[in-house]
Structure 1
């Protein structure tokens, strides 16, 4: 079981202040943020033990949710249980949420200005390159040479590309295939499998989508569903969001969606926080708040609920096989979404060059941080876009 607050060498207030600061200045993506937590809390301060950190990281990788946010929540739980997890998670996400809401306000009020169009002209192309490299790294790390995972991965990549939408039950199907193939339960050999529930998932999804919810409720339900399937990386939410926000509900157009992903790249904290920007564009501040709460609530619950039992059950072969299957499906969906988004963002030769240069830079310089590339792409857009725009006129 997790240790109690009596053995903590720090106060809850100290940990909350640390997470608030990390959420404000923590650039570099989920892996970098997890690395900062280890350096600061395990090695330098000694607040968290190495074993507790590793267990939190393992749980964050196994369960759905943005890795860095889930790890922060778990570290808050280690000594201060539910209160610690709640306050730490809130402190970690709040700074980036406020930033994307502020950017959403500026975008909504000044989005028609030529300078902002020029910025996102360059940034949108860079985002394609960033997501493409992230998809490549995730593929090599999570799929590797595993033939079963490659089948799941390619299936989701193709389906996402063809349908340009999220199909949530296919993620579950990927997990079930991995579980039943790699670590089948004993009752399976006795013919006890029941496929009725799995077969009804697509139908149930269609029924929920067809209900005429009030807008805020509809936003909350959609983002809770999306937040429950953020496996493998925060970028796993991109294909879900595209399918729901652009294709199904038509809350945003293609350009606005790519701009929303770009906003997540230039702000600290988890990539998933782009939901706040999207929610603001759809329904103002209430929309941003509901979208963020809906997305992070599953992440919070998937951390706090299994935390006391993770040491006992987290390494079971069936659990690992199920998560491996879902992760392969999520990475496949990310790969498919790269192609979908590229079709909207790569509109001419300069944007193609920006995307390709972004990929080359990230490939060549492993420690190059994404906000640096995004900033350079924004400056390039300010120079190039007016020239092309004036020529078009």
Structure 2
């Protein structure tokens, strides 16, 4: 953080850096940037605004606002927007690739090792420990997101509790409920003038669930199925990278049955132990379902909506981003996303917390993150993996 009385370096219209300097920076951040979306966004502000003065504070804040408004992973959207600031579509495209590619290659390697060695005791042991620690990490993240996003607002609390309950009961995430939450907050706080007119607009809205259901019944080949599902995940999931977890669980495990519960928790764990955006777990899941083509299709389908929904509205965002209706919609969707994450903690915990050691590991993870607020999550994951290596073989003998 900057000290009081100091200002971030001024940024002129002519960039103080080349596009390739920015590409190299994001390659490094994608390779070594641990800590989740909030930490990654913090690194970008520290490095690009405060230290180097490449990006103005105003441009950075606009990027954060757009990332919260549009669905998809926040850190990746912010990176794409910062690439757009001075180098437009080419910059946004190259920065998006540079930020995501390192972690994608890492999850490909882990996916290969998981498929090849997944039956070996040592790998089962690692994920036994890591799976329990991941529950603790997600629980803390859900608590932080709840206090920050929901606060004491009664409407947002109602949305939050409904989505948490639906996620726990159905063990899946219903994308249309996210949109409904945004519309409810919009109509409640900044009702549009046409709302009183009714008629055609309301009729059009009622057709959305029917169209969604029709798409779900089509018999696509496997790669097309993967592409459609992960494109929906990228287009409808708002909030932090963890917001995609309940949505993925509902589709990957419950609906399509591509993975079992244990494999899904392992996939979330892989996202935790690799740098870059948490959403890159889609590459690991795609690899388990359909090998390298599945990984590529899943990653491309997830990040393409994120890219388009950042680049296309960017020129107009300064003009319309602060309208009360849009701000209310974002608040409603965010509360719904946080509620779904909280529900997902309980759903996933039932699969990973299976005995006394896993209970202790999850509780220890929560205690460490509460006590040491700056403790890097990969350190906890590494410790949990070592504990798993020691404990799991003894429990199975």
- Taking the aligned partners of 1:74 and 1:245, their CA distance within structure 2 comes to 30
Using structure 2 for the length normalisation, give the TM-score. 0.95
Alignment of 1:19 onto 2:26: yes
Give the aligned partner of residue 4 of structure 2. none
Give the aligned partner of residue 351 of structure 2. 344
Give the aligned partner of residue 204 of structure 1. 211
- Taking the aligned partners of 1:129 and 1:340, their CA distance within structure 2 comes to 13
Give the aligned partner of residue 171 of structure 1. 178
- Taking the aligned partners of 1:67 and 1:258, their CA distance within structure 2 comes to 22
Tell me the alpha carbon deviations over residues 221-279 of structure 1, each in whole angstroms, 9 at most, x when there is no partner. 00000111231211000001000000000000000000000000000001000000000
The equivalent position to 2:239 in structure 1, one of 219, 232, 236, is 232
- Taking the aligned partners of 2:119 and 2:111, their CA distance within structure 1 comes to 13
The equivalent position to 2:91 in structure 1, one of 69, 84, 97, is 84
Give the aligned partner of residue 127 of structure 1. 134
Alignment of 1:252 onto 2:248: no
Give the aligned partner of residue 109 of structure 2. 102
- Taking the aligned partners of 1:68 and 1:191, their CA distance within structure 2 comes to 38
- Taking the aligned partners of 1:193 and 1:130, their CA distance within structure 2 comes to 46
Q: Classify the secondary structure of the residue corresponding to 1:228.
A: helix
- Taking the aligned partners of 2:189 and 2:309, their CA distance within structure 1 comes to 23
Q: Classify the secondary structure of the residue corresponding to 1:252.
A: coil
- Taking the aligned partners of 1:59 and 1:170, their CA distance within structure 2 comes to 21
Contact 1:133 1:362 (C-alpha < 8 Å) held by counterparts: yes
- Taking the aligned partners of 2:381 and 2:209, their CA distance within structure 1 comes to 38
1:166 Cα offset (Å): 1.8
Q: Classify the secondary structure of the residue corresponding to 1:9.
A: coil
Alignment of 1:182 onto 2:189: yes
Give the aligned partner of residue 70 of structure 1. 77
Q: Classify the secondary structure of the residue corresponding to 1:195.
A: helix
Contact 1:229 1:236 (C-alpha < 8 Å) held by counterparts: no
Tell me the alpha carbon deviations over residues 321-361 of structure 1, each in whole angstroms, 9 at most, x when there is no partner. 01111111111111111111001111101101111111111
Alignment of 1:284 onto 2:297: no
1:381 Cα offset (Å): 0.2
Cα root mean square deviation, aligned: 1.4
Tell me the alpha carbon deviations over residues 32-91 of structure 1, each in whole angstroms, 9 at most, x when there is no partner. 111111111111211111111111111112221211111110000000000000000000
- Taking the aligned partners of 2:122 and 2:166, their CA distance within structure 1 comes to 37
Using structure 1 for the length normalisation, give the TM-score. 0.96
Alignment of 1:265 onto 2:285: no
Give the aligned partner of residue 52 of structure 1. 59
1:187 Cα offset (Å): 1.8
Where structure 1 has 5 or more consecutive residues not aligned to the other structure, the ranges are none
Alignment of 1:368 onto 2:375: yes
Tell me the alpha carbon deviations over residues 152-199 of structure 1, each in whole angstroms, 9 at most, x when there is no partner. 111111111111112111111001100000101112234457333333
Give the length in aligned residue pairs.
387
Give the aligned partner of residue 162 of structure 1. 169
Contact 1:138 1:232 (C-alpha < 8 Å) held by counterparts: no
Contact 2:175 2:237 (C-alpha < 8 Å) held by counterparts: no
Question: Residues 257 and 143 (structure 1 numbering): CA distance in 2 closer, same or farther, change over 3 Å?
Answer: same
- Taking the aligned partners of 1:265 and 1:26, their CA distance within structure 2 comes to 11
Contact 1:157 1:332 (C-alpha < 8 Å) held by counterparts: yes
